[in-house]
Structure 1
Amino acid sequence: MLKVQVDSFGYQNQTILKDIAFEVAPGEHVALMGESGSGKSTLLKIIYGLLHVEEGSVFWGDTEALGPNFNLVPGEPYMKYLAQDFDLMPFISVEENIGQFLSVFERETHQERIDELLDLIEMKSFAKTKVKFLSGGQQQRVALARVLAQEPEILLLDEPFGHIDNFKRLSLRRNLFLYLKKQGITVLTASHDPNDVLPFAERTLIMEQGQIIANENTQELYLNPPNYYTASLFGQVNKVPMKLLKSYSEIDRDVLVYPHEFKFSDSSGLQAEVVHSFFKGSHYLNESRAKDGTILFFNSDKKQETGATIFLNVSLNTINKRLHVGQKTDT
């Protein structure tokens, strides 16, 4: 079990993290989500031991992970960290970068292990290429293979696909997270991309201004977000006054509604005028304006004409669930 507690951490009288406390079970994949500056990367650096924390601790089972005040070389042997800077050796080949971290006692299986990791990152054809000739995205993939070569018990990932082209990112993401689950590796992934999180992380921690404001099962957090900030991290979301949805309602609150949750009606519902219609491949994302000026985004199968009047409805089940969560109305 990974146990993290950071009562307070900061630089030069500026608090960066406060009241952080959570646990991660062996083999569990937990995501960290939050806007830039929310403290995700700082938290990962503390866990790995790159930053010293006076008020707090990190334990893996009964073993305490110590920071730079105790370790000349940061980190613990059971934990690896893939940062946004790759720290590769540019003048040797891809396979040499990976192979240098394999055990000297298992040389007869080195090539087999290197080939396995090259297949995982889809770079077998670049095995003999020097790292200095690779693109940023390719270097990120090599850095990933290199940390996996060390067979960590815990893997910390900070925006692991940020430099990788989208067409490669899709397959690499699946390959990596399925591999990590199969190997039973405990994973913490800090990411802005909900595609890194929704299909793969069992649990998600939402960070805002250095604090954890939500710690829930990922699917539950998406379906029942506690506030607008949390929902917006997963994509476009509407904050709709209850009186707009149900004019007879006496509830003076906003309801969070994802674009796909709006349903069309020919003549009844929340009336709005189409402002823009954006092609998204499988559907159109439409921007509209209600009579009171509220901007609403909704999905449709077909392009909506600018200026067209439409009627939108949300199921009572969805409304009741969102109200039950007790969401905040702040942004």
Structure 2
Amino acid sequence: MLEVKNISFAYQGQPPILQNISFKLPQGEHLALMGESGCGKSSLLKALYGLVDVQAGEVHFQQQRVWGPSRQLVPGFKAMKYLAQDFGLGPYHTVAENVGKFLSNLDLGYKKSRVMELLSLVGMERFAPLKALNLSGGEKQRVALAMALAQEPQLLLLDEPFSQVDHFRKHDLQRKLFSYLKAQNISCVVATHDGRDALAFADKTLIMRQGEVLLFGDTLAVYNQDTDFYTASLFGEVSKHNGKLLKPHQIRLTDISSWEATVQHYYFLGNQYLIESTSGEEKVFFYHKSPINGGEKVCLTPCLS
């Protein structure tokens, strides 16, 4: 169990970065941290791992207090692994050496098989003999994930772990990684800008804004809330109508309606089109099976069932 109790943090002489953050995460569950850039997601991960000294509140993991660098010689918490956005790879070591440096040399056979198991998990086994400096950003990111799992943690803290991974590899990597974590009962906290990431893996989602918790709960409940525009917009396009927030799949065309809009653009999504329109001063987004030309007038109706 990860338990965060009213923590606040600021760099000396600076405004607060984190303010009164509280939440609980049971062992084995996955949490998505979401919010605009600069809202405090990365700082929260550092506070959870013990890389900074919080000015107020406490972090506990498995009933042990997580202390900051002023209280321990080596920053960090042994049962956790933290993957920052700079990856931390040794550029002149091979991929296999980077992953293997966290494993004991007492059993070299196990070490070799464990390294290859982790590289296979992230799709990097054929890169094992290459030096890290010769890898792309996305490849380095995948190796860093394998490194974080070498000494299997109880809690994994990931800061934008898929930001540089090719789109066509990303979803397969996510499925493999989070299935592995679930099977091993490893908790995970992931800072992400992509609401689709949260929907794909997160049991719970925490929405941050200006260093504070705006909303925390089951991911489905956070996604389905229809009153806070900021939260809804983190998951994609959203429209306002009669005091409610509607996602594109909740709006459809109709023959007659008091809700009229003018089409501005359409965007091909593969199996359908996203139509961008305006109604008064508000933008309205909805899906349609075929394109609709700009300037065309349409009637719309909510479809919430």
TM-score range, shorter chain: over 0.9
Which amino acid counterpart does residue 8 of structure 1 have in structure 2?
S
Which amino acid counterpart does residue 54 of structure 2 have in structure 1?
V
2:261 aligned partner = 272
1:207 aligned partner = 208
Which amino acid counterpart does residue 287 of structure 1 have in structure 2?
E
Deviation at 1:99, TM superposition (A): 0.8
Q: CA–CA distance in 2 between the matches of 1:169 and 1:147?
A: 18
Q: CA–CA distance in 2 between the matches of 1:300 and 1:270?
A: 17
SS in 2 for 1:14: coil
Query: Matched residue pairs, number?
Result: 304
Counterparts of residues 124-143 of structure 1 (less than 5 Å)? 124-143=125-144
Q: CA–CA distance in 2 between the matches of 1:220 and 1:158?
A: 23
2:272 to 264, 283, 287: 283
Q: Deviations over 1:111-161 (max 9, x none)?
A: 111111111111111110011111111111111100100100110011000
Instruction: From the superposition, tell whether residues 7 and 145 of structure 1 become closer, same or farther in structure 2 (CA, over 3 Å).
Output: closer
Q: CA–CA distance in 1 between the matches of 2:90 and 2:226?
A: 43
Deviation at 1:225, TM superposition (A): 4.1
Q: CA–CA distance in 2 between the matches of 1:222 and 1:270?
A: 25
Counterparts of residues 150-299 of structure 1 (less than 5 Å)? 150-240=151-241, 242=242, 254-290=243-279, 292-299=280-287
Kept in 1, the 8 Å contact 2:80–2:153? The answer is yes
1:309 to 271, 275, 297: 297
Runs of 4+ in structure 1 deviating by more than 4 angstroms, as ranges, are none
Q: Which runs of 5+ in 2 are unaligned?
A: none
Kept in 2, the 8 Å contact 1:6–1:17? The answer is no
Kept in 1, the 8 Å contact 2:100–2:111? The answer is yes
Which amino acid counterpart does residue 26 of structure 1 have in structure 2?
Q
2:3 aligned partner = 3
1:32 aligned partner = 33
1:68 aligned partner = 69
Q: CA–CA distance in 1 between the matches of 2:4 and 2:107?
A: 34
Counterparts of residues 43-62 of structure 1 (less than 5 Å)? 43-62=44-63
- Identity value in percent: 46
Instruction: From the superposition, tell whether residues 226 and 217 of structure 1 become closer, same or farther in structure 2 (CA, over 3 Å).
Output: farther
Q: Deviations over 1:64-110 (max 9, x none)?
A: 11111122221121110011011111111101111111134443311
Q: Deviations over 1:177-202 (max 9, x none)?
A: 11111111010011001122102101
Instruction: From the superposition, tell whether residues 226 and 289 of structure 1 become closer, same or farther in structure 2 (CA, over 3 Å).
Output: closer
Q: Deviations over 1:182-227 (max 9, x none)?
A: 1110100110011221021011011011111111110111112440
SS in 1 for 2:77: coil
Taking structure 1 as the reference length, the TM-score comes to 0.88
CA RMSD of aligned residues (A): 1.4
Q: CA–CA distance in 2 between the matches of 1:43 and 1:166?
A: 27
Which amino acid counterpart does residue 173 of structure 2 have in structure 1?
L
Deviation at 1:301, TM superposition (A): 0.8
Kept in 1, the 8 Å contact 2:266–2:275? The answer is yes
